[in-house]
Amino acid sequence: MQTRPPIPRAILVGVQVPGVDDVAHAASLEELGRLVKTLGYEVVGMISQKRDELDGATVLGKGRLEELAAITGGTGAVGSMAIQRKSKARERFEDAGERKPDARQMEPDPEAPPRPAFVIVDHDISPSQARNLERATGAQVLDRTGVIVEIFHRHAHSREAKLQVEMARLKYIAPRLRESSAGGERQQGYGAGESDLELDRRKIRDRLAELKQQLDDIQRDNDQRRSARRDQLRVALVGYTNAGKSSLMRALTGSDVLVANKLFATLDTTVRALQPEAKPRVLVSDTVGFIKKLPHDLVASFRSTLAEALEASLLLFVVDASDPTYESQLEVSRNVLHEIGADVVPSRLILNKIDRVSEADRAALRAKYPDAILLSATSPEDVAALRETIIGFFEAAMVDDQLVLPYAKQGLLSDVYENARVLSEDYDTTGRIIRVRGLPGAIARLRRTLAAS
């Protein structure tokens, strides 16, 4: 009857702890909803509760938990589903949407939409909290990190990103494997019984070691490639996911990187020259986006990707100014940059998507962030002006100097042209006298190359 698998239905759960105001709490749930949609699930409702802390056994209080269980078709009690739990969530995962009605429903309405098979918690919860919630709700439970790891898993394209994500994913799965050993195949096919569990743990350890080795190799290559670019003029686009970094990358470099209205569209760093080319040319990199509560393992695994940002001379810090929560996005991004040590790199704040901001709000933004650049990645004039700003930034750091290229070393001329702007060329008995303008570091390196025998 059905030609396509049904869209899994999910219900969101959020706890508002002291210190988080209503707006931030709502925004966080809204963002979780977007993450869940990015996974391809349909969000059919949410349960939210104010609590003093998050570390209860079931995240939610008794009343709310029962309310949730009534929606998902569980019992609402932690103890009662333990026996029939094995691989039930898996089964539900496979035929989500056409579940048999719960035993408690004596006369199920055949017209009623299927119950949500997923409960998605807007916090990082412990494996035992997840297990308790699964028992009470009869649904599969994922937390924020689980959702993000899953999105990364689906969006990874390059070999490096795939390895990084697999590593983060195994690290996420491993402790859950231990806690839910009775859960059978629930964990992506891992673990079914004690001895298998041991085996799985060892497999995971071995695989992690293998992944680390492969990543180290790739990263060594990347380091070399990066250090070859060391003295070039480099700009990195950084910021919250969906802020418009890839859109600006396309507009500035004419490259065809993926632009998509989904979270974490970009997981790979792309480096392209600014177009039309500047002299010396400027390299622009697009990077993975940030998000609130970015899982630590993912930050760690993307550190090398973000090394691009670390080594740039200028960060274009992109913010979606049309997003009502842009301020918290700004703060989250600042924190991540601080965490990876990139907060020392000079940066310019780019308030993007300004085409979606009212004139009054624009004025307020200008007053609040006098140094920021307000623009729209979709406006060619704005992009051209940004290009001038980038060039201006490097121009200010450049110096004029003179290099002597001995006649025996004419082969190095292209190196000079690539790394500096040649102002004039002259000849005398020592060789070609070249007046150049460039970054002091690049000129110093050229001088060393020319002097070396």
Ligand X SMILES: Nc1nc2c(ncn2[C@@H]2O[C@H](COP(=O)(O)OP(=O)(O)OP(=O)(O)O)[C@@H](O)[C@H]2O)c(=O)[nH]1
For ligand X, the binding residues (CB under 6 A) are 241-247, 259-261, 263-266, 289, 352-353, 355-356, 376-378
CB 184 within 8 A of CB 92: no
The binder of 242, among Mg ion, ligand X, none, by C-beta within 5 to 8 A per type, is ligand X
194: number of Cβ within 10 Å: 10
The binder of 195, among ligand X, Mg ion, none, by C-beta within 5 to 8 A per type, is none
Query: Up-side HSE of residue 231: CA atoms within 13 Å toward CB?
Result: 19
Its sign, for the CA torsion 427, 432, 433, 438, is positive
Shorter beta-carbon distance to ligand X: residue 176 or 245: 245
Shorter beta-carbon distance to Mg ion: residue 140 or 266: 266
The binder of 241, among ligand X, Mg ion, none, by C-beta within 5 to 8 A per type, is ligand X
288: number of Cβ within 10 Å: 26
Shorter beta-carbon distance to ligand X: residue 87 or 379: 379
In the complex, least distance from residue 149 CB atom to Mg ion, rounded to whole angstroms? 18
Shorter beta-carbon distance to Mg ion: residue 248 or 307: 248
Instruction: Give me the residues that bind Mg ion (CB under 5 A), please.
Output: 246, 265-266
In the complex, least distance from residue 256 CB atom to Mg ion, rounded to whole angstroms? 12
In the complex, least distance from residue 320 CB atom to ligand X, rounded to whole angstroms? 7
Torsion angle of the four alpha carbons 156, 161, 164, 170, in this order, in degrees rounded to the nearest 10? 20
Pairing between strand 421-428 and 431-438? Answer: antiparallel
| Cα–Cα distance for residue pair 183/205, rounded to 1 Å | 20
In the complex, least distance from residue 274 CB atom to ligand X, rounded to whole angstroms? 17
In the complex, least distance from residue 299 CB atom to Mg ion, rounded to whole angstroms? 17
The binder of 305, among Mg ion, ligand X, none, by C-beta within 5 to 8 A per type, is none
The binder of 405, among Mg ion, ligand X, none, by C-beta within 5 to 8 A per type, is none
Shorter beta-carbon distance to Mg ion: residue 246 or 419: 246
DSSP string spanning 412-442?
A: GHHHHHHHSEEEEEEEETTEEEEEEEE-HHH
In the complex, least distance from residue 441 CB atom to ligand X, rounded to whole angstroms? 29
Nearest by Cα to 308 from 279, 251, 266: 266
In the complex, least distance from residue 346 CB atom to ligand X, rounded to whole angstroms? 20
Shorter beta-carbon distance to ligand X: residue 65 or 263: 263
Eight-class DSSP state of 350: E
> In 3-state terms, what secondary structure has residue 270?
strand
In the complex, least distance from residue 240 CB atom to Mg ion, rounded to whole angstroms? 11
Angle between helices 127-137 and 159-179 (to 10 degrees): 70
Shorter beta-carbon distance to ligand X: residue 190 or 264: 264
Q: Residue of minimal CB distance from Mg ion? A: 266
In the complex, least distance from residue 329 CB atom to ligand X, rounded to whole angstroms? 11
Structure tokens at 288: 């993975």
Shorter beta-carbon distance to ligand X: residue 280 or 295: 295
The binder of 16, among Mg ion, ligand X, none, by C-beta within 5 to 8 A per type, is none
Eight-class DSSP state of 7: P
Shorter beta-carbon distance to ligand X: residue 134 or 268: 268
| Cα–Cα distance for residue pair 345/207, rounded to 1 Å | 36
In the complex, least distance from residue 145 CB atom to ligand X, rounded to whole angstroms? 17
At 195, which amino acid appears?
S
Q: Residue of minimal CB distance from ligand X? A: 289
The binder of 183, among ligand X, Mg ion, none, by C-beta within 5 to 8 A per type, is none
> In 3-state terms, what secondary structure has residue 43?
strand
389: number of Cβ within 10 Å: 15
Order across the sheet with 140-143: list the strands: 42-50, 9-16, 118-121, 140-143
Structure tokens at 417: 């042209």
Shorter beta-carbon distance to ligand X: residue 246 or 325: 246
Peptide bond into 18 cis (omega under 30): no
At 362, which amino acid appears?
R
